[in-house]
Amino acid sequence: MEATTVKNYGLEDALKALKIAPNNPGTSTGKNWMDSKETIDSFSPVDGKKIASVSATSPEQYEAVIQKAQEAFHIWRTMPAPKRGEIVRQFGDKLRENKEALGKLVSYEMGKSLQEGYGEVQEMIDICDFAVGLSRQLHGLTMHSERPGHRMYEQYHPLGVVGIISAFNFPVAVWSWNTALAWVCGDVCVWKPSEKTPLCGVACQNLIAEVLEANDLPEGISCLVNGDYKIGELLSHDERVPLVSATGSTRMGKKVGAAVGARLGKSLLELGGNNAIIMTENSDLNISVVGAVFGAVGTCGQRCTSTRRLIIHESIYDQVKNALVKAYGQLRIGNPLDENNHVGPLIDKDAVAQYEKALKAVKEEGGNVLVEGGVLEGENYASGCYVKPAIAEAKNDMNIVQTETFAPILYLMKYSDLDEAMAMQNGVRQGLSSAIMTTNMRQAEKFLSHEGSDCGIANVNIGTSGAEIGGAFGGEKETGGGRESGSDAWKIYMRRQTNTINYTTELPLAQGIKFDI
């Protein structure tokens, strides 16, 4: 990296603090790093420069990692849950100490704005806090038995090794959503981060390894494997991994779900989104337009909860359209480490190609482009990954509208009746996030009712993107049906067991069955 890129934003110090060097080993059980001949290069979409290389995990190294994880599980599961929570608390403190450094790495390696990078690390801290409290609340149920002198209850036990496959757009937060909960539940974790953001995985592993070492705990509690889809396939097909949590495209999720299901394992899938905001005639336009713009262009449209479709009541359609065009004209696109900019780059040139393909398809299918897109050129956009956020008028049933494009393209469409709007909102294969903008209580409640949004997330007077740790995160249909983070999402990381205790000298059978010998 050139010194100007690093020193202007403190990146050099950030990388040093996280122990990121030009060549990093990429397979780990705690502090024990394994080197291999094959490497993965990490290039920043910010300036196109190579940050560092990591070693790719070989099948032999994968086997060694799983064995270490299994060994660690037998120790970790015997530790009382509140004690496991104490380890997670220490990890949260470690994240607090390194929030600026890790946030800058997230921003530089992935390309999201610096504030979003800091926000992602804050999500990690928040889920650690949540998990610490949860460690004293892994409750079961007690129920009455139909048999006299019997007690019946349910309890939860750790699963074992949890595999985590995460995507580039949230290179650290989604891992922490899974691993913080899995850890307090007594599981150990093997993480395959995206091959597009491997250094974020290395940084997180360095931090948790310090906590484990300080507490004299087995390294295999937290493991890291780096590689392409082949490493993900090893996790998906491995019967020693009872749960695989995978975040990414619907295409990838279908493969993971099929592989895990074939061996009767458990999968937690958080996949594609094609999220819409309904703007009613009763919308507060001051907040509605801001919510729509941020939802569409935040993280350069690379959030699974990004706003893809804006369904606008016909009475305010032109007003909203004009306001959006004006707002897009004020967007500042550039280096995401500069906090004055609103929009950073796409992750790589493959994403740029998909963006251009989508804009071409909009025109071919009869859409009307209101704000032209395009790839930005010049010294400030040398990576070739900077694009202009675009707006197009379109129909909900157009093929390109039905397809999730991970880029800042917003489709506008008009409606006249709320039932029509909700049918449009639900009329896609994905079901992650949704929102309605209205000051009318009846409209809001109808949207949230069983006849309203069919998504896992339904908001009123806030946009589709952004989620709090306290609520379960995930969606329906081709989004996969999984739930991560808060609420009772912890239950998927454990196995449920029903227990019945007979404290009498007789053996009555259920349903009054008689069996005399």
Active site residues: 270, 304
Q: H helices then E strands: how many in the chain? A: 16, 24
d(CA 305, CA 474): 10
**In contact, 174 and 193? CB cutoff 8 Å:** no
Q: How far apart are CA 266 and CA 423, in angstroms?
A: 32
Spatial CB neighbours of 63, under 8 Å, sequence gap ≥ 6: none
Following DSSP, what letter does each residue of 93-142 receive, concatenated? HHHHHTHHHHHHHHHHHH---HHHHHHHHHHHHHHHHHHHHHTT----EE
Backbone φ/ψ region at 48: left (φ over 0), alpha (ψ -120 to 50), beta? left
| Longest alpha-carbon distance in the chain | 90
Region of 419 please: left (phi>0), alpha (psi -120 to 50) or beta: alpha
Length of the chain: 517
Asked if residue 467 lies in contact with residue 457, where contact means CB atoms within 8 angstroms, the answer is yes
3-state secondary structure of 464: coil
Q: Tell me how far the alpha carbon of residue 517 is from its chain's centroid.
A: 59
Using an 8 Å Cβ cutoff, are 408 and 376 in contact?
Answer: no
d(CA 319, CA 323): 6
